[in-house]
Amino acid sequence: MATATSERTVISGDTLERAVAQGVLTLRQVEMLRYLENTAAGMPAEAPVDDEKFRFINGFGDIFVTIGIALFLGALSYFALEWIGGAGAGFTVAMASWLLAEYFTRKRRMALPSIVLLLVYAASVFSATLIVIAGAEAFNVSTVSEDSWPVVIAGIATIAATALHYRRFRIPITFAAGVAALVASVLALVIAVAPDFAERFLRPVLLVCGIAVFALAMRFDLSDPQRRTRRTDIAFWLHMLAAPLVVHPLISGLVASGNLNAATSLGVLAIFLGLAAVAVLVDRRAILVSGLSYAGIAFGSLVRQIGLGESVVPLTLLVLGALVLLLSAGWHALRRRLFALLPAALVQRLPSHT
pLDDT averaged over every residue in the chain: 83
Residue 263: predicted pLDDT: 84
Q: How far apart are CA 352 and CA 183, in angstroms?
A: 31
SS3 per-residue string spanning 301-316: HHHHHCCCHHHHHHHH
H helical segments located in the chain: 13-21, 27-38, 60-104, 111-134, 141-146, 149-169, 173-193, 195-222, 230-255, 262-282, 286-290, 292-305, 312-329, 331-339, 344-349
Choice among 30-39, 109-118, 137-146, 330-339 with the minimum mean pLDDT = 137-146
Is residue 1 predicted with pLDDT exceeding 50? no
Residue 4: predicted pLDDT: 43
Among 132, 120, 69, which residue's Cα sits nearest to residue 94?
120
What is the secondary structure of 102-122 as a DSSP string? HHHTTTS--HHHHHHHHHHHH
Is residue 40 predicted with pLDDT exceeding 80? no
Choice among 204-208, 268-272, 338-342 with the minimum mean pLDDT = 338-342
Phi, psi (degrees; rounded to nearest 5) at 101: -65, -30
Residue 302: predicted pLDDT: 86
Residue 215: predicted pLDDT: 95
The per-residue pLDDT for range 52-75, each reduced to its tens digit, is 666 666 678 888 999 999 999 999
Q: How far apart are CA 159 and CA 322, in angstroms?
A: 41
Residue 347: predicted pLDDT: 79
Q: How far apart are CA 234 and CA 213, in angstroms?
A: 12
The per-residue pLDDT for range 237-289, each reduced to its tens digit, is 999 999 999 999 988 877 776 667 888 888 889 999 999 999 999 999 899 99
Is residue 324 predicted with pLDDT exceeding 70? yes
Q: In the predicted model, what is the mean pLDDT of residues 8-33?
A: 65
Residue 138, judged by CB atoms within 10 A of its CB (0-12, 13-18, 19+), counts as middle
Other CB atoms within 10 A of residue 347 CB: 16
Q: How far apart are CA 3 and CA 8, in angstroms?
A: 16
CA angle 212, 217, 222 (to 5 degrees): 120
pLDDT class of 27 with cuts at 50, 70, 90: low
Among 335, 351, 111, 116, which residue's Cα sits nearest to residue 231?
351
pLDDT class of 23 with cuts at 50, 70, 90: low
Among 312, 302, 248, 237, which residue's Cα sits nearest to residue 275?
248
Amino acid symbol at 147: D
Q: Is the pTM of this model over 0.85?
A: no
Angle at which helices 173-193 and 230-255 cross, to 10°: 40
Amino acid symbol at 274: G
Residue 272: predicted pLDDT: 92
